[in-house]
């Protein structure tokens, strides 16, 4: 049996806490909205969505995908989640706005009150000390410790402000991804880094001090890839169970599906953290609520919704938008049982399409099925189902003149480096096209992620039979978007605005 990695989907940069009998974990969501997803668990293995920290971060043209502005690879990064004196705190930077955000709530489901901390604190981690003084640790290669004012608004005048750790070895990635704790009177800071020596993969490091004015000493504490392509497991938080056992939740790169969380048992010897030498493929942890039934992290949607008394509609929390949606261009109440999307801008490819509705792809393999009605498409419109990633693949209805076509497009990856380039004004390379007599079709996207194969295929239903359209496309994770691939429902216009598309009966299957 295998249950580790604990989630085979893109939940990077995890920070985890326990409040009474409940574990909470926040992970990076970058350009997706709502953002700052917080997961909940009672055993550290099974998880469900507890809440999102914000619906939209900032009302900027780039966060709204206006024109060809975008925040791919930016937005919300590597949050710190803490609970102190009955309040929850989330702190992170956004690399497009160059701001440090602080959100505070009395309950994990909000409402979350937003403010800012003066300054920019890369990969930051908060610590509320026993004497109620507050600190933030942050940085890359040189790690800073800064004391904050009581209201967390800015650095404290005359407070501690010092460099506590500096990278002294030759590195590929210097120390970053700080996670800061006080345990039994000592101060611990955990980091990720990659050295030029040794395996040249991500490893976990820890430095420890007896006081905040004292010397932080330490080094590497965990180096393992679970036999997976030299993909090191590192960067994340640690947490103690009610039974007094300690665990680290770190992440591992898994190709196009993204960066996925792995749990590693640990303990302390002479007040220094000792991780198990290898991450276990199977782990059992007692549940604080053994009979609890978890809600799925991904799933189906019949798009049957009702507006609240204010006329607002909240979609199931399994969905996230690619960037901030244009609220006047989508509806699930305009026609019951459909996600209806209208075209309001010219977009030469799916990267710049507004209102793409997404769910994470999940390994080892998964498929999404949806029925699409494209009778209101305009010339040059594309509407369909995709794997959203910089090396995207998609199946779409398109219209030319008075004819409808079903096409399969993909963005080729011309190199295997992790760096990409979004500057591409074409819809994608067209690998297949068939004429459709009626503009309504049921389509399917299939993804296969075992051993980094990262393949996607697209199908359409014809007389009860699935027929493949186009090629088997290989997706590649790149830093231009910095996220794992997702299923997406989309519409974009290449010639004129005003078209519309309807999606119904969305089904999601995780395949073994």
Positions marked catalytic: 13, 176
Residue 174 CB burial class (10 angstroms; 0-12, 13-18, ≥19): buried
Backbone angles phi and psi of 2, in degrees to 5: -130, 125
Question: What's the CA gap between 203 and 172, in Å, rounded?
Answer: 11
Q: Give which of 59, 6, 2, 9 is closest to 318, Cα–Cα.
A: 9
Residue with the two structure tokens 């898994």 = 254
Question: What's the CA gap between 467 and 355, in Å, rounded?
Answer: 28
- Which is it for strands 161-166 and 142-148: parallel, antiparallel or unpaired? antiparallel
Residue with the two structure tokens 């075209």 = 343
Which token pair is 267? 């303990």
Between CA 352 and CA 256, with CA 380 as vertex, the angle to 5 degrees is 40
Which token pair is 292? 């609890």
Three-state secondary structure call for residue 134: strand
Contact 50, 42 (CB under 8 A): no
Which token pair is 117? 């901390």
Question: What's the CA gap between 229 and 160, in Å, rounded?
Answer: 42
Contact 349, 412 (CB under 8 A): no
- Dihedral of alpha carbons 233, 229, 322, 44, sign: negative
Phi-psi sector, 419: left (phi>0), alpha (psi -120 to 50), beta: beta
Question: What's the CA gap between 43 and 502, in Å, rounded?
Answer: 40
Contact 358, 367 (CB under 8 A): no
User: Which helix (H) or strand (E) covers residue 113, if one does?
Assistant: strand 113-117
């Amino acid at each position: 049996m295998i249950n580790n990695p604990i989630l085979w989907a893109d939940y990077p940069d995890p920070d985890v806490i326990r409040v009474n009998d409940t574990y909470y974990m926040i992970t990076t969501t970058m350009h997706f909205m709502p953002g700052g997803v917080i997961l909940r668990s009672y055993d550290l293995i099974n998880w469900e969505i507890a809440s999102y920290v914000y619906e939209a971060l900032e009302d900027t043209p780039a966060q709204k995908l206006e024109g060809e502005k975008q925040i791919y690879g930016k937005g919300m990064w590597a949050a710190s989640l803490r609970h102190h004196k009955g309040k929850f705190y989330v702190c992170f930077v956004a690399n497009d706005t160059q701001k440090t955000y602080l959100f505070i709530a009395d309950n994990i489901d909000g409402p979350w009150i937003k403010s800012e901390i003066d300054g920019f604190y890369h990969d930051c981690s908060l610590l509320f000390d026993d004497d109620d003084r507050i600190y933030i640790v942050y940085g890359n290669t040189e790690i800073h410790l800064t004391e904050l004012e009581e209201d967390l608004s800015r650095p404290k005048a005359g407070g501690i402000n010092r460099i506590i750790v500096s990278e002294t070895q030759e590195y590929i990635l210097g120390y970053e991804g700080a996670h800061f704790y006080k345990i039994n009177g000592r101060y611990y800071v955990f980091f990720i880094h990659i050295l030029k020596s040794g395996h040249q993969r991500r490893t976990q490091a820890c430095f420890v001090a007896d006081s905040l004015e004292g010397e932080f000493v330490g080094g590497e504490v965990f180096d393992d890839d679970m036999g997976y392509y030299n993909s090191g497991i590192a960067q994340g938080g640690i947490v103690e169970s009610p039974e007094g056992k300690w665990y680290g939740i770190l992440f591992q790169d898994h190709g196009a599906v993204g960066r996925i969380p792995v749990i590693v048992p640990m303990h302390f010897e002479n007040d220094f953290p000792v991780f198990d030498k290898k991450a276990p493929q199977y782990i059992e942890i007692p549940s604080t609520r053994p009979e609890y039934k978890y809600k799925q992290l991904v799933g189906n949607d019949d798009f049957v919704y009702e507006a609240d008394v204010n006329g607002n509609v909240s979609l199931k929390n399994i969905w996230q938008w690619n960037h901030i949606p244009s609220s006047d261009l989508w509806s699930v109440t305009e026609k019951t049982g459909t996600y209806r999307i209208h075209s309001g801008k010219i977009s030469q490819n799916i990267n710049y399409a507004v209102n793409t509705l997404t769910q994470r792809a999940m390994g080892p393999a998964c498929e999404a099925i949806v029925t699409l009605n494209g009778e209101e498409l305009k010339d040059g419109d594309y509407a369909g189902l995709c794997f959203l990633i910089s090396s995207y693949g998609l199946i779409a209805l398109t219209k030319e003149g008075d004819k409808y076509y079903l096409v399969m497009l993909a963005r080729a990856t011309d190199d295997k480096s992790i760096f990409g380039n979004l500057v591409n004004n074409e819809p994608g390379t067209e690998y297949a096209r068939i004429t459709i007599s009626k503009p309504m079709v049921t389509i399917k996207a299939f993804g296969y992620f075992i051993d980094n194969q990262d393949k996607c295929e697209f199908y359409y239903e014809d007389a009860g039979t699935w027929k493949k359209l186009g090629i088997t496309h290989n997706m590649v994770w790149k830093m231009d978007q910095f996220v794992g691939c997702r299923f997406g429902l989309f519409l974009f216009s290449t010639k004129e605005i005003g078209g519309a598309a309807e999606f119904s009966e969305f089904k999601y299957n995780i395949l073994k």
